[in-house]
Amino acid sequence: MINRCSMCLYPDTKPDLVFTDGVCSACRSFANRPMIDWQSRSGQLLELLERADGKVLVPSSGGKDSTYIAIRLKELGADVTAVTATTCHLTPTGRHNIDNLAKHVRTIEVTPNMTVRAKLNRLALHLVGDISWPEHASIFSVPFRVAAQTGHTLIMYGENPQAEYGGPVGSEKAKEMTRRWVSEFGGFLGLRADDFVGMEGITERDMADYKLPSADELDGIESHFLGAYEQWDSHRNAQVSIKHGMKTLKYPPYQSAYWTYENLDNAQTGLHDYFGWLKYGYARMTAQLSVDIRHGLISREDALEKLKDEGAFPWESAGVSLTDVLKRINMTEQELSECVEKYKNKSIHVS
């Protein structure tokens, strides 16, 4: 049995979400936006850029949000370097969008050993029911490592997830992404890079790509959320990015998604979201529709109606078949269905 926020569709099973009088923390944080002095925040953003001599590193997949950030900061006069941590299973659309970034800013693409990556995908699916664990780890570790190596002192991420999608009380106010933030909210599910060392021949050196640099190496490097300095709007980001050459799909990348311009770059995302649905009873559609409800683009009733497809099995993701996804990580369909059974939350899914 799932209880949902009375304003959007977020369920009470969503990790880190807090409810007050039936309303979730994401809706409360959204309602609080007009109280924030955005003009002063935009002044703070310019100060940040100035402090970094205008040099900023933008972790970027070439997707709607990071393309927007790169374009926006460039407009503000910054010297932007986009750094891409290659996704676990890059799609043709994803490839196009990374190349598209290079038409606007300097780019660095870091691709770790993909044989190790495939092992991590399979192991993480078994261990924590999350095929995307290594990707989530690398989108934090890679930019920080590159910053330490290239002498950048400012990294600009997108929205503060706790402000946009809900988090524990107070976490929505964070402007800066600290080391502690990464450990707590980075999506590691309590699993750490060191836990993989020794499994299937994976070495400490292999896992270094998935760890933040030491506190000493990070000294002087700041990482901030652009969403703390200007109002975040996924749809605006998409429009700006499309205008600058980002490619989208004509339909959502998998059946349990709603938007056509999110999660286009990793063919494993459909599977990732399906496991979220197994564990917590919600997936991407709930998150996307909830954003649209808050922005007044759809009524809660109409959105709720659309949710019936959310549990759809991801036979295809951004044009790549599940067979290809499994082949790449050396996993059989039988193995996958065992994982599905293992992670199905019996208190949410009856059969």
Partner 1 sequence: MLAKRIIPVMLVRGNLLVKGERFAGDRVVGAALNASRIHASRSVDELCILDIGATKEGRGPDLNMIKELATNTFIPVSVGGGIRTLDQIRALLFSGADKIVIGHEFKRRPEFVKEATKKFGSQAIIVSIDWPRQGIDDAKRAVELGAGEILFNNTERDGTMCGLDIDAIKSICEVPVPVIACGGCSSYKDMESAFNVGASAVGVGALFQFDDATPLGAAKFLKSRGIETRI
Burial 207-226 (b: 16+ CB within 10 A, else e): bebbbbbeeeebeebbbbbb
Stretch that binds partner 1, among 101-109, 144-152, 176-184, 253-261 (CB under 8 A): 176-184
E strand or H helix at 82, and its extent?
A: strand 79-85
Q: How far is the CB of 218 from partner 1 (least distance, A)?
A: 13
Angle between helix 333-343 and 269-280 (nearest 10)? 30
Tell whether residue 271 is a contact of partner 1 (CB under 8 A): no
What binding mask, one character per residue, do residues 99-128 give for partner 1 by CB under 8 A, x or -?
----------------------------xx
What binding mask, one character per residue, do residues 184-223 give for partner 1 by CB under 8 A, x or -?
x----xxxx-xx---------------xx-----------
Query: Rounded CA gap, 154 and 151, in Å?
Result: 9
Based on CB atoms, which residue is closest to partner 1, 77 or 168? 168
Based on CB atoms, which residue is closest to partner 1, 4 or 14? 14
Query: Rounded CA gap, 278 and 284, in Å?
Result: 12
Tell whether residue 23 is a contact of partner 1 (CB under 8 A): no
Based on CB atoms, which residue is closest to partner 1, 137 or 156? 137
Based on CB atoms, which residue is closest to partner 1, 123 or 154? 123
CA angle, 161 as apex, 155 and 164 as ends, to 5°?
Answer: 125
Using CB atoms within 10 Å of the CB of residue 55, give its burial: 0 to 12 exposed, 13 to 18 middle, 19+ buried: middle
Angle between helix 234-243 and 64-75 (nearest 10)? 70
CA dihedral 27, 33, 171, 13 (to 10 degrees): 10
β-strand pairing of 316-317 with 320-321 = antiparallel
Tell whether residue 145 is a contact of partner 1 (CB under 8 A): no
Q: How far is the CB of 138 from partner 1 (least distance, A)?
A: 15
Tell whether residue 280 is a contact of partner 1 (CB under 8 A): yes
Interface residues toward partner 1, by CB under 8 A? 12-18, 127-130, 168-169, 180, 183-184, 189-192, 194-195, 211-212, 279-280, 342-343, 345-348
